[in-house]
Amino acid sequence: DTGVSQNPRHKITKRGQNVTFRCDPISEHNRLYWYRQTLGQGPEFLTYFQNEAQLEKSRLLSDRFSAERPKGSFSTLEIQRTEQGDSAMYLCASSLGQNNEKLFFGSGTQLSVL
């Protein structure tokens, strides 16, 4: 399977714990995006990388959130001191990095904070 891969698919954690998600993009894709989706809403942009450089962060991304893409390949999204409001589907997408191109999404990580 050469699509975007996300792990884990589901994560249940207690409030205050830290969690980390991983995304493996399509191998030749330079750009990697993180989105968050809550029930009844569309995906909301969080951040994106061009290779290993993090080029933009949404104001939705509080200080408790950090994303990395250390070698320009896979990426991790960490949430520290989770809150119940962090419960959502976290989606990763990748693209080649050209104009007017589509994003390819993974199946997401569903986070539930108890």
Amino acid at 75: S
Confirm or reject binding of residue 74 to other proteins (CB under 8 A): no
Confirm or reject binding of residue 18 to other proteins (CB under 8 A): no
Candidates 48, 86, 88, 113; binder of other proteins (CB under 8 A) is: 48
User: Which stretch, 12-20, 33-41, 66-74, 80-88, contacts other proteins (CB under 8 A)?
Assistant: 33-41
CA 77 to chain centre: 6
Radius of gyration for the chain, computed over Cα atoms and rounded to the nearest angstrom: 13
Nearest Cα neighbor of 57 from 10, 65, 71, 112 is 65
Quote the tokens at residue 109.
């990580």
The residues that touch other proteins, with contacts defined as CB under 8 A, are 4, 31, 33, 40-45, 48, 50, 55-56, 91, 93, 95, 97, 99-108
